[in-house]
Copies of this chain bind each other. A is one copy, B any other.
Amino acid sequence: MVNIRQSDIAKELNVSRVTVSKALRNHPDISSEMKKKVIAASRKLGYIPNLIATQLNSRKTNTIGIVIPDLENSFFSYIADSMIDYATENDYRVILTVSREKESVEKRNIENLIGMRVDGLLVCNSQETTDTEIYSQIKKMKIPLVFFDRVAVGSGFSSVVFDDRNGAINSLEKVFASGLRRIAHFAGYSGVNIGKDRREGYLEALRKQRIPVKKEWIIEGGYELNDGRNSLLKLLALNDLPEVIFAVNDRVALGAYKSAKEAGLSIPEDIGIFGYGFSEITDFFDPQLTVINQDPRKMGQLAAKVLIDEIAGVHGSNPVKITIEEEFLWKESVKKQK
- Which residue numbers of A lie inside 8 Å of B, CB to CB? 1-3, 46, 48-53, 55-56, 59, 61, 63, 70-72, 74, 77-78, 80-81, 84-85, 88, 93-98, 100, 105, 111-112, 114-117, 137, 140-143, 225, 254, 257-258, 261, 280, 283-284, 286
Q: List 25 A-B contacts (CB under 8 A).
A: A1-B143, A3-B141, A48-B114, A49-B115, A50-B115, A51-B112, A52-B55, A52-B116, A53-B56, A56-B56, A70-B81, A71-B78, A71-B84, A72-B74, A72-B78, A80-B96, A85-B100, A88-B97, A93-B95, A93-B97, A93-B112, A94-B96, A225-B283, A258-B283, A261-B286
Tell me the nearest residue of chain B to A109, going by C-beta: B88
14 A-B pairs besides A53-B56, A94-B97 with CB distance below 8 A are A1-B141, A46-B137, A52-B55, A52-B61, A52-B116, A56-B56, A71-B81, A72-B81, A74-B74, A85-B100, A88-B105, A95-B96, A96-B96, A284-B284
User: How far is A284 from B70 in the complex, measured between Cα atoms in Å?
Assistant: 19
Q: Report how far A78 CA is from B143 CA in the complex, Å.
A: 30
Contacts A141-B3, A141-B46, A254-B284; A116 near B51 (Cβ below 8 A): yes
Residues of B within 8 A of A94 (CB): 95-97
For A48, A56, A80, A254, the residue with the greatest tally of chain B CB atoms inside 10 Å of its CB is A48
Residues on B with C-beta less than 8 A from A81 are 70-72, 77, 98
A142-B2 in contact (CB<8A): yes
Contacts of A56 in B (CB 8 A): 52-53, 56
Using Cβ atoms and an 8 Å threshold, which residues of chain B touch A257? 286
**Contacting residues, chain B, for A111 (C-beta < 8 A):** 48
* Given A72-B77, A95-B93, A97-B94; A117-B50 close (CB under 8 Å): yes
Give the number of times this chain occurs in the complex, counting copies: 2
Residues of the B chain whose Cβ atoms lie less than 8 Å from the Cβ of A114: 48
Shortest 8 CB-CB contacts between residues of A and residues of B = A71-B81, A77-B77, A51-B115, A96-B96, A284-B284, A286-B286, A48-B114, A51-B116
Q: Which residue of B lies closest to A116 (CB)?
A: B51
A283: chain B residues within 8 A (beta carbon): 225, 254, 258
Residues in B with CB closer than 8 Å to A59 are 1
Tell me the bound Cα distance from A50 to B94 in angstroms. Answer: 18
A95–B98 touching, CB < 8 Å: no
Q: Name the B residues within 8 Å of A49 (CB-CB).
A: 115
Chain B residues lying within 8 Å of A88, measured Cβ to Cβ, are 97-98, 105
User: Nearest Cβ in chain B — how far from A88, in angstroms?
Assistant: 7
Complex CA distance for A224 and B20, rounded to whole angstroms: 49
In the bound complex, residues from chain B placing their C-beta under 8 Å from that of A112 are 51, 93
Query: How far apart are A91's CB and chain B's nearest CB, in angstroms?
Result: 10
Taken together as a complex, chains A and B put the C-alpha atoms of A88 and B95 apart, in Å, by 12
Q: Which residue of B lies closest to A261 (CB)?
A: B286
Name the B residues within 8 Å of A117 (CB-CB): 3, 50-52
